[in-house]
C-alpha cells in the first residue's frame, strides 16, 4: 500500500484525493494547504491528518507526494520531495519560468525515485486508443495533426493575470499531447493570438484565442487551436492524417441520445466542465503512477516531458510577440 501525502487541497487536489483513496493500492495519509479550512475539510473526508508541506515531505511514513499547489511552488516542492526520496506526481506545469524548470530538472536528474508530471490528457481513453492505432501503423506515416481545445468560458481575470498566459497555462496541455502523439519534438513553432473573448484578458497582456503551427524534422505538421470560449461546451478533439488514412477522436457528449426527425439530426453538447470531461483520464493517470512505483514500470510523463512542453510554450510566446517562427532548439 502506497502511503500518499497531498500538497494542495483545492479543486484539482480534491479530485486527486478521491482517486488516491479509491485506488486499492494507495491511501491518503496526510494533506497540506495554506488554506487551513480547506485542508481540514479534505482531511476529515478521507481520514487523513493535516500537516505543513515540509512536515508531509519529511514524514518517513509517507511514500509518495502529490503536488497540486500553485505553480510557483512546484519546482521547490519537487526538489524537496526528491531529496527526501519520495515518489512524486506533480501537476503541470513544472514551473512558469523555463530557466527555473531546467534547474529543477538538473537538480533531480540523478534521483532514482519516480517523478511524473500531471499531463492527464495522455491518459484519456480515446486519445490513448488513437495513439495506439497510430503506433500500430493503421494509417501509415503521420503527416498532419490538428488538436482543438476550446474552453466553454474564460477564467476569472484574477486567474489570467497569474496564469503565465494562454500558452503556458492552457495550450501547454496540447503541446504535451502533440509530443505524445507525434512521438517527437517539433523543429519550429509559429504562434498567432488575439483577445477576442474578453477585453480584460487583452488588457492584462494575454490572448484568449490562438493558433500554433509546428513543423517537424521530416516536414510533417501539427496545428493547435485554442480558445477560452466555446458557447456549446468544452471542445476537445484530435484529428491526424496519415499516408494511408485518417484518425479522429471526437468530443465526449453529455449523453449518447441522437434525435432524428424532419428538422434534422440533433445530438447532445460536449460535456461542459473539464474535471467531468477528463475524470477517467485523471483516474488512469493515478493508476499509471501507482504502477510505476509498485511494478517498476517506466514513468508515463517524465520531468523531461514537462520541461519540453514548457519550452514549447515559451517558444510560442516569443513567436506571438515577435511575429517570427522560433526554433525550439533556441529555447530548449
Cα(222)–Cα(220) distance, rounded to whole angstroms?
7
Say which residue the cell 482543438 belongs to. Answer: 148
List, for residues 184-214, the tens digit of each pLDDT value: 999 999 999 999 999 999 999 999 999 999 9
Cα(173)–Cα(94) distance, rounded to whole angstroms?
12
131-149 burial by CB neighbour count: b if 16+ within 10 A, else e? bebbeeeebeebbebbbbb
List, for residues 48-75, the tens digit of each pLDDT value: 999 999 999 999 999 999 999 999 999 9
List, for residues 144-197, the tens digit of each pLDDT value: 999 999 999 999 999 999 999 999 999 999 999 999 999 999 999 999 999 999
Question: Alpha helices of 23-97 — where are they, by DSSP H?
Answer: 36-46, 53-58, 74-83
Residue 172's H or E segment, with its range, is: helix 171-182
Residue 192's H or E segment, with its range, is: strand 188-194
Cα(70)–Cα(9) distance, rounded to whole angstroms?
11
**CATH number given to 122-274+309-331:** 3.30.360.10
Average pLDDT rounded to a whole number, residues 119-125: 97
- Indicate the DSSP class of residue 280: H
Q: Within a 13 Å sphere around the CA of 177, how many CA atoms are in the beta-carbon half?
A: 30
98: exposed, middle or buried (C-beta count within 10 Å: 0-12, 13-18, 19+)? buried
pLDDT higher than 90, residue 226: yes
Nearest to 57 by CA among 30, 84, 94: 84
Cα(91)–Cα(285) distance, rounded to whole angstroms?
11
Phi–psi pair at 292, nearest 5 degrees = -65, -25
Cα(52)–Cα(249) distance, rounded to whole angstroms?
42
Average pLDDT rounded to a whole number, residues 62-91: 97
pLDDT higher than 90, residue 331: yes
Q: What is the largest CA-CA distance in the chain?
A: 67
Give the pLDDT of residue 272.
87
Strand partners, 75: none
Whole-prediction pTM: 0.95
pLDDT higher than 90, residue 273: no
Q: Please give the C-alpha separations between residue 223 and each of 217, 241, 252, in angstroms, as whole numbers.
A: 15, 12, 21
Cα(104)–Cα(84) distance, rounded to whole angstroms?
15
Nearest to 326 by CA among 185, 152, 169: 185
Domain ranges within the chain, ordered by starting residue: 2-113, 122-274+309-331
Q: Please give the C-alpha separations between residue 41 and each of 31, 32, 116, in angstroms, as whole numbers.
A: 10, 11, 27
CA 124 centroid distance within chain: 11
Give the pLDDT of residue 296.
85
Phi-psi category of residue 47: left, alpha or beta, with phi > 0 → left and psi -120 to 50 → alpha: left
Give the pLDDT of residue 275.
84
Cα(49)–Cα(94) distance, rounded to whole angstroms?
27
**CATH number given to 2-113:** 3.40.50.720
Cα(187)–Cα(328) distance, rounded to whole angstroms?
6
Amino acid at each position: 500500500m502506497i502511503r500518499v501525502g497531498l500538497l494542495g487541497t483545492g479543486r484539482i487536489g480534491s479530485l486527486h484525493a478521491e482517486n488516491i483513496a479509491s485506488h486499492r493500492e494507495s491511501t491518503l495519509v496526510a494533506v497540506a494547504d495554506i488554506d487551513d479550512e480547506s485542508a481540514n475539510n479534505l482531511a476529515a473526508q478521507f481520514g487523513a491528518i493535516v500537516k505543513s508541506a515540509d512536515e508531509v515531505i519529511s514524514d518517513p511514513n509517507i511514500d509518495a507526494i502529490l503536488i497540486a499547489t500553485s505553480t510557483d511552488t512546484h519546482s521547490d516542492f519537487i526538489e524537496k520531495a526528491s531529496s527526501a526520496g519520495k515518489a512524486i506526481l506533480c501537476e503541470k506545469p513544472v514551473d512558469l519560468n523555463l530557466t527555473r524548470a531546467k534547474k529543477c530538472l538538473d537538480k533531480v536528474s540523478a534521483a532514482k525515485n519516480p517523478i511524473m508530471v500531471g499531463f492527464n490528457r495522455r491518459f484519456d481513453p480515446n486519445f490513448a486508443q488513437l495513439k495506439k492505432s497510430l503506433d500500430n501503423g493503421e494509417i501509415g506515416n503521420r503527416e498532419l495533426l490538428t488538436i482543438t481545445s476550446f474552453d466553454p468560458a474564460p477564467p476569472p481575470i484574477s486567474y489570467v493575470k497569474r496564469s503565465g498566459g494562454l500558452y503556458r497555462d492552457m495550450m501547454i496541455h496540447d503541446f504535451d499531447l502533440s509530443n505524445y502523439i507525434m512521438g517527437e519534438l517539433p523543429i519550429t513553432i509559429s504562434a498567432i493570438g488575439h483577445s477576442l473573448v474578453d477585453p480584460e484578458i487583452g488588457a492584462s497582456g494575454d490572448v484568449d484565442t490562438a493558433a500554433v503551427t509546428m513543423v517537424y524534422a521530416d516536414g510533417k505538421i501539427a496545428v493547435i487551436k485554442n480558445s477560452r470560449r466555446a458557447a456549446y461546451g468544452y471542445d476537445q478533439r484530435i484529428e491526424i492524417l496519415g499516408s494511408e488514412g485518417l484518425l479522429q477522436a471526437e468530443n465526449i457528449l453529455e449523453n449518447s441520445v441522437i434525435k432524428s426527425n424532419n428538422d434534422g439530426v440533433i445530438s447532445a453538447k460536449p460535456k461542459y466542465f473539464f474535471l467531468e470531461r477528463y475524470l477517467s483520464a485523471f483516474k488512469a493517470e493515478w493508476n499509471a503512477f501507482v504502477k510505476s512505483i509498485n511494478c517498476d514500470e517506466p514513468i508515463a510523463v517524465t520531468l523531461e516531458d514537462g520541461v519540453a512542453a514548457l519550452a514549447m510554450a515559451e517558444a510560442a510566446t516569443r513567436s506571438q510577440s515577435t511575429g517570427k517562427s522560433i526554433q525550439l532548439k533556441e529555447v530548449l
